[in-house]
Amino acid sequence: MKLLPDEVIAAWKKRNKIVVLTTVDSAGVPNSIYATCADMYEDGKIVIADNYFDKTKANILNGSVGTVLFITEDNKAYQVKGTLEYHRDGSMFDFMKCWNPEKHPGHAATVLTPNAVYSGAKKLA
C-alpha cells in the first residue's frame, strides 16, 4: 500500500540532502535534528539512520510521534507526520545499511510511517 501521494514521492527524489526530524519527549518538549542519511522505502515510509542520536533515540523509544521536513531543489517544503519505530535489525535495518555511508555507525533505522502530509499549509494526505 502506498502511503504517500505521487507528488510527495516525486518531490522526495528532488529534495535537498538534509531533512529535519522532530520528535517530542514525554513532557511534550520538541527536539529537532538535521539528518543527512535518509531515504524512502518502497511503500513511502521514510527511513533515517541513527548515526549519532541521543535525545531523538530516547524520544522514539518512549513512544514519540514525529515529523520529517524536507525541501526540494526548487525550495518547496514538505512535512510528513507519523508514527516512529526504531529497528536494530530486520528488513528496515538492512535497507538503511545499504545506503548509509560506511564512515557512520548506523546503530539503527528510524522509520516514520506517514499519517499526514503537508506542503506549506495545504494538507496533501
Domain boundaries along the sequence of the chain: 6-120
- Is the per-residue pLDDT at 50 higher than 70? yes
Q: How confident is the model at residue 1 (pLDDT cuts 50, 70, 90)?
A: low
In which residue are the cell numbers 506517514 written? Answer: 114
Residue 90, pLDDT score: 97
Could you tell me the end-to-end alpha-carbon distance of the chain, in angstroms, rounded to an integer? 14
Q: Tell me the three state secondary structure of residue 114.
A: strand
In the predicted model, what is the mean pLDDT of residues 36-43? 94
Q: Name the nearest CA neighbour of 33 among 110, 107, 98.
A: 110
In the predicted model, what is the mean pLDDT of residues 102-114? 97
Q: Name the nearest CA neighbour of 78 among 108, 49, 38.
A: 38
- Is the per-residue pLDDT at 35 higher than 80? yes
In the predicted model, what is the mean pLDDT of residues 11-38? 96
Residue 43, pLDDT score: 85
d(CA 94, CA 29): 31
CATH number at 6-120:
2.30.110.10
pTM: 0.94
- Is the per-residue pLDDT at 40 higher than 70? yes
- Look over the chain and give the mean of its residue pLDDT values, rounded to a whole number: 96
